[in-house]
Structure formats: C-alpha cells, structure tokens
Structure 1
Amino acid sequence: MLLSRVAALIAVRFEEPAGDGMPLHARLSYEREDPFAVRAKFLAGHEVIATWCFDRQMLAEGLHRPVGEGDVTFRPQWSAGGEAVRVELRDGGGCGAGAVLFVDAQALERFLDMTYAVIPAGAESVDVDAFLEELLAR
C-alpha cells in the first residue's frame, strides 16, 4: 500500500526577544500531491497561531548546515534540550519582525524519514500538464 500523506506533532520552543522560551507544537504534514512542500501549523494548545510552508529539501539540509535566506532560514544548533534546528521566520515586509523557533532535530529527522516513504528524496516531480491545465482553467 502506497502512503499518500504523513503527519507528525512535534514539540518546538519559541524564543521570545527577551530570551524567554515558550513551548509550542508544530503539526507537520506532507502529501504526495505536493512533493516539494512540508506544511507546518504552529499551535499554542489547540489554537493555530501560524501556518507556514517549507521546502522539504531545504528543511532536510537545515539539519546539517545553515540554509535559506529571506523569509525562512534553518540551521543546526545545540540548545538546552539537545540538538535542534533553529528556524527563523520573517514576515517578508522588510521590517525584520518574525520568530525564532527551535525544533528537536531527531523528531524532525524522523518526520522527514516518514516523508521519504511517501516519495524518496530526489524522486519528486511535478505534473506540468496538469498544472498548466489547472492554471488555464482559472
């Protein structure tokens, strides 16, 4: 049976500008229909406080080296809880406002391994004909 979707709930820590940390959760999801994207909903309790879409390859590379520019960057980092990935999110408006999150590296790696069971790394593709058909139908 082919998997078409995987999801995981991962604990993250939001770093406030004052240096205090606030625990959150990220609900990560990946779908065969959008093979390049990992979707993240950040939750405070049961409330979704932000939603982002990340490039799966960039997220995987962020486990090992700094990647990204602009609105989203990832880099490996040691934190009080162990090895983590530092995720910096900016609003894109040029004012520098945004958030810094720390995601447990092992939990993120386990989630990415689940995504590779859906579509292996490097095997992603886009159905260009279907994309153009949908685009022209609008």
Structure 2
Amino acid sequence: MTTDAVHTEQLIALYGGTTPVRSRWTYQASSPYTVIAEFQTSHERWVRWMFARELLVDGLVGPAGIGDVRLRPEGIPGREMLIVEIESPEGHAELELDITAVEAFVDATAELVPLGQESEHFDVERLIAEITNV
C-alpha cells in the first residue's frame, strides 16, 4: 500500500455460491469518488469494474445500485456476505464476498480520504486538462 492508494487481492468471491473467484480491489486518493474491482475470469484475464465508493458503502448496509453494479448485504450471523451483481451486454454474474473483508477495504480507503471529504481531494484542474487535451 502506498500513501495515496489502497490495493488488495485478498478478497475471494464465490460465483454461484460454490466457485471461488479471485478479485482485487483498488482505491486511489487521486480518484476519491471511485473504487475499482477486478475479477479474474481465467488465468490471464481480469474483468474490471469501476464504480462509486459511495455505492460500495451503501451496499454494505442495504440494497444499493440500479445500474450495471448492484450490491446488497445478505446472510445469517456468522456468515454475512456482500452480494455483488454485475451486468454487461456480455453477461451477468452474482458474486458473494465476505462482508468483513470488504468493510476492512472501505475502512482503509477512509483512512486515505475520509468519507464525505472526497471533494477536498478531487483535482478539478487535472480533470479539465484531461478533457481538453483529448
């Protein structure tokens, strides 16, 4: 972990409740509103999803999302999970993640950029430069 990013490959998802899927999650202070989740689909292929950190936070406590990424907590005490549904024109997947591991990831992101203070870390000038130099 660097001082401006959180990265983990420790989150194992279950696809269909039985097949393990390795995932890696990244958060960078330079992009304070977003997280990146990548899921390994084969030995050398990762599918990447970028979505709002706020969506991840909301999904830990209740159903969240109406688009291509939807999250919800589920389970019984002692086996609580975060259900991640991802959808694209190529297909649909429903993955189960250990909710405690995801909470630890969110906590680590909040150490870099406290929740609700994203605008203080967002570089508008950099974004304008990227858009106008296309």
Q: If the length of structure 1 is used for normalisation, what is the TM-score? A: 0.84
Q: CA RMSD in A?
A: 2.2
Runs of 4+ aligned residues of structure 1 deviating over 4 Å after TM superposition are none
CA contact (8 A) 2:38 2:48 kept: yes
**Secondary structure of residue in 2 paired with 1:59:** helix
Give unpaired runs (5+ residues) of structure 1. Answer: none
Contact 1:41/1:48 (<8 A) preserved? no
Unpaired runs of 5+ in structure 2?
Answer: none
- Aligned runs of 1:1-138 on 2, under 5 Å? 3-9=3-9, 10-15=11-16, 21-44=18-41, 46-78=43-75, 82-91=79-88, 93=89, 97-125=91-119, 126-138=122-134
Displacement of 1:102 after TM fit?
A: 0.6
| 1:122 partner letter | G
Which TM-score applies when normalising by structure 2?
0.86
> Can you list the C-alpha shifts for 1:9-55, whole angstroms capped at 9, x where unaligned?
2111011xxxx621011110111111111111112575333111121
What is the percent sequence identity of the aligned residues?
Answer: 33
CA distance in 2 between counterparts of 1:48 and 1:38 reads 19
